[in-house]
Amino acid sequence: MSEIKASAGKSGSAEPWGNNVLVEFEDGIAWVYLNRPDKRNAMSPALCSEMVSVLDALETDSRCGVLVLTGNGEAFSAGMDLKEYFRETDGGQHVDKMRVYRTASQFHWRILMQYYKPTIAMVNGWCFGGAFTPLISCDLAIAAEDAVFGVSEINWGIIPGGNVTKSLFSVMGRRDALYYIMTGQTFTGAKAAQMGIVNEAVPRDRLRSRTKEIALVLLEKNPTVLRQAKVAAKYIEEMSWDLANDYLTAKNEQAILIDPERGREKGLQGFLDDKRYRPGLENYRKDG
């Protein structure tokens, strides 16, 4: 990977990144790098804490229209830092252990799952264990075809915790999820795409450019409606048909009320009155 020209949040800066996390801004995209390359970006308590602050800051940063989560170096993330999360918390006070775990869950899924802006996970290399939770919590995901994935916890005498199992079952078929959870075997980015863990897998030399293409498509959409659509899609997964219908109707009405761009009004005018918008053929903002 080429050198990251990141906004590194120097000491004394209001920007919360620069140590375990790097951020690079480009054309409305915030490229967020997990930055422990010597540890294959294994997630330590310090990294998770920094990521919580980074996510919070970027949510209101005008330079970030779409957030891309990836890793610095040869890995997306090797998962949880077993030494810092397990051995170094064993024997300590239970409240301290729970606080460390709570911060991890804030980054891994609580914030990402309902993040205000669109998120894309870009899996550039190793993706193991605990890394599956933030990967799957992102709205979309793309991987290098030769990236290596694995749910290897069974090999270390533990089960996939931290909602790894929950996240896997939310996107994979039951048989596939159980197979990799129980065997601890690895699979490629190409296989991850086949099983629905990522949207697509591409050759490594196209990974960043393809991710940027997708991000730029998202940046063309009405941001308020885009957020309403993605949040609604996630909530209705566990709803009945009747409840989902009522919720989606209410969510659509909410979007109309809070949308500063008046997207619905402009869209209907462009389609019905001006005949200048053909859904599927032209971008939302083209004639906006």
Q: Is the pLDDT of residue 277 over 80?
A: no
Whether the Cβ atoms of residue 170 and residue 136 lie closer than 8 Å to each other: yes
Q: What is the pLDDT of residue 286?
A: 47
Q: Is the pLDDT of residue 91 over 80?
A: no
CA distances to 120, 254, 288 from 284, rounded to whole Å, are 20, 20, 7
pLDDT in tens, 24-41: 999 999 999 999 999 999
The rounded distance, in Å, linking the Cα atoms of 29 and 16 is 17
Retrieve residue 67's tokens. Answer: 């957030």
- Please name which of 54, 40, 47 lies closest in space to residue 7, comparing C-alpha atoms: 54
In a 3-state reduction of DSSP, which class is residue 217?
helix
Share of the chain above pLDDT 70, in %: 82
**Residue 201 φ then ψ, to 5°:** -125, 140
Whether the Cβ atoms of residue 80 and residue 34 lie closer than 8 Å to each other: no
Retrieve residue 224's tokens. Answer: 């308020």
Which residue type occupies 111? I
The conformation of residue 38, written as its DSSP 8-state character, comes to: G
**Angle 285-115-174 (CA atoms, 0-180°, nearest 5)?**
105
Which residue type occupies 202? V
The conformation of residue 236, written as its DSSP 8-state character, comes to: G
Q: What is the pLDDT of residue 68?
A: 98
CA distances to 7, 84, 256 from 219, rounded to whole Å, are 21, 38, 19
CA distances to 98, 243, 253 from 47, rounded to whole Å, are 16, 39, 39
pTM score over 0.85:
yes
The rounded distance, in Å, linking the Cα atoms of 55 and 140 is 17
pLDDT in tens, 190-246: 999 999 999 999 999 999 999 999 999 999 999 999 999 999 999 999 999 999 999
- Give CA 36 to chain center in angstroms: 18
- Give CA 129 to chain center in angstroms: 15
Which residue type occupies 169? F
How far does the chain reach from its first CA to its final CA, in angstroms?
Answer: 38
pLDDT in tens, 109-138: 999 999 999 999 999 999 999 999 999 999
Helix (H) or strand (E) holding 53: helix 45-58
Q: What is the pLDDT of residue 14?
A: 80
- In this prediction, residue 261 has a pLDDT band, given cuts at 50, 70 and 90, of confident
